[in-house]
C-alpha cells in the first residue's frame, strides 16, 4: 500500500529557483546534448564495443533519473519557511541532544541547504523519522544500525533561513 499523503517540502525561494532552473535545463538543452552524443556515437559503427555510445546512454539514464527526482521534489513544495512553532519538520534547523551530545542540523535535503555549511538529515533517516513531528522539549529515541537504542531530546527547532 502506498502513502498518497506526501509531506510538504519547504524550500527557500533561492532553493526553489535553483532546482526549477536545473529541471528546465535537463529537460531542454541537457536532453538535446545527450541525444546528440548518442547519435554521434551510434554513427561510429559497432555499438557493442563503442565506449562513447555506452557512456552517453549511461549519462542519459542518470539524467532521466535526476529529472524524475526533481519533479518529485517540486511536486509538493511550499516556498518560504515552515511556521516557527517549535514543531520539528522538514525545513527546520534542529538542535538536539543525541546520545548525550548536542548537535545542530537541518531536517530536510541537501537541496534545501544549498551551499550552507550545515549537517543535513533526511526526514526518512532513523534520526529524522524519530524526531519529525515532535516539539521542543520532547524526548524520543531511535534504533541505530547497530541495534542500539539512541535517546534524543529536542532542544530547539527554528525555520531554516538559508
For the stretch 119-134, pLDDT in tens is: 999 888 999 999 999 9
Examine the pLDDT at 7 and tell me if it is beyond 80. no
Show the cell assigned to 48. 557493442
Contact criterion met (CB below 8 Å) for 60 and 20: no
Q: Rounded to whole angstroms, how far apart are CA atoms 13 and 81?
A: 9
Write out the DSSP string of 66-91.
HHHHHHHHHHTEEES---SSSB--TT
Tens-place pLDDT, residues 32-71 = 999 998 888 888 777 777 788 888 889 999 999 999 988 9
pTM: 0.65
108 DSSP 8-state letter: S
Amino acid at each position: 500500500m502506498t502513502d498518497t499523503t506526501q509531506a510538504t517540502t519547504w524550500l527557500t525561494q533561492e532553493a526553489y529557483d535553483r532546482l526549477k532552473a536545473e529541471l528546465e535545463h535537463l529537460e531542454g538543452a541537457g536532453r538535446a546534448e545527450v541525444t546528440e552524443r548518442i547519435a554521434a556515437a551510434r554513427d561510429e559503427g559497432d555499438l557493442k564495443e563503442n565506449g562513447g555510445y555506452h557512456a552517453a546512454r549511461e549519462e542519459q539514464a542518470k539524467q532521466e533519473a535526476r529529472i524524475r527526482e526533481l519533479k518529485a521534489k517540486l511536486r509538493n513544495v511550499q516556498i518560504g519557511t515552515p511556521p516557527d512553532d517549535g514543531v520539528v519538520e522538514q525545513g527546520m534547523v534542529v538542535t538536539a541532544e543525541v546520545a548525550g551530545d548536542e548537535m545542530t542540523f537541518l531536517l530536510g535535503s541537501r537541496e534545501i541547504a544549498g551551499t550552507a555549511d550545515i549537517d543535513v538529515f533526511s526526514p526518512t533517516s532513523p534520526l529524522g523519522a524519530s524526531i519529525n513531528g515532535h516539539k521542543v522539549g520532547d524526548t524520543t529515541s531511535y534504533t541505530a544500525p547497530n541495534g542500539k537504542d539512541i535517546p534524543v531530546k529536542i532542544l530547539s527547532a527554528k525555520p531554516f533561513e538559508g
